[in-house]
């Protein structure tokens, strides 16, 4: 009985550790998927965990709240079947503007992203 409880506890600890890893390093989906015009690719933004988001801030009148757009994360492009095609890190992923071009995806945020797409998009 004691061994079973220890195994269940260890499994639960591993599950929580893996979920923490995903939350902190891989990121959680942020907003919905956006498909390319030919539906062969899609992009999705992912936000990373940050302790600073839990700290209340006060800004000067008229400045706005920079914490609403200062969200670290990734811009990831996938093939329609879910295969990762490419990614780019941005420290303000929430305001990153994304555009599909012929053979690439371009993102403009705090940094610029150019993710080239494979020719066999699906």
- Domain span holding position 47: 29-116
The answer to whether 37 touches 103, Cβ cutoff 8 Å, is: no
Instruction: Find the mean pLDDT for residues 100-120.
Output: 85
Number of domains in the chain: 1
Q: 37 or 60: which carries more pLDDT confidence?
A: 37
User: What pLDDT was estimated at residue 28?
Assistant: 84
Is 59 contained in some domain?
yes
Percentage above 90 pLDDT, the chain? 25
Is 104 contained in some domain?
yes
Q: 68 or 110: which carries more pLDDT confidence?
A: 110
User: What pLDDT was estimated at residue 122?
Assistant: 47
Is 21 contained in some domain?
no
Is 47 contained in some domain?
yes
Is 84 contained in some domain?
yes
User: What pLDDT was estimated at residue 52?
Assistant: 60
Residue 49: phi and psi, rounded to 5, are -65, 140
Is 6 contained in some domain?
no
Using the predicted structure, report yes or no on whether residue 100 has a pLDDT greater than 60.
Answer: yes
Q: What is the pLDDT of residues 7-59, one digit of tens each?
A: 888 888 888 877 766 666 678 888 899 999 999 999 999 988 766 666 666 66
User: What pLDDT was estimated at residue 109?
Assistant: 84
What Å distances lie between residue 49 and 62, 73, 93, 113, 119, CA to CA? 27, 9, 13, 21, 34
pTM of the model: 0.70
């Amino acid at each position: 009985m004691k061994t079973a409880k220890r195994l269940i506890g260890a499994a639960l600890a591993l599950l929580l550790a893996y979920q923490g890893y995903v939350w902190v390093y891989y990121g959680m989906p942020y907003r919905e998927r956006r498909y390319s015009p030919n539906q062969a690719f899609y992009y999705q933004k992912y936000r990373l965990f940050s302790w600073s988001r839990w700290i209340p801030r006060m800004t000067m009148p008229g400045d706005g709240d920079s914490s609403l757009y200062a969200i670290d994360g990734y811009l990831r492009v996938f093939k329609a079947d879910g295969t990762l095609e490419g990614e780019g890190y941005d420290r303000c992923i929430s305001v990153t503007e994304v555009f599909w071009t012929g053979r690439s995806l371009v993102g403009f945020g705090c940094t610029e992203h150019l993710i080239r797409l494979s020719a066999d998009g699906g």
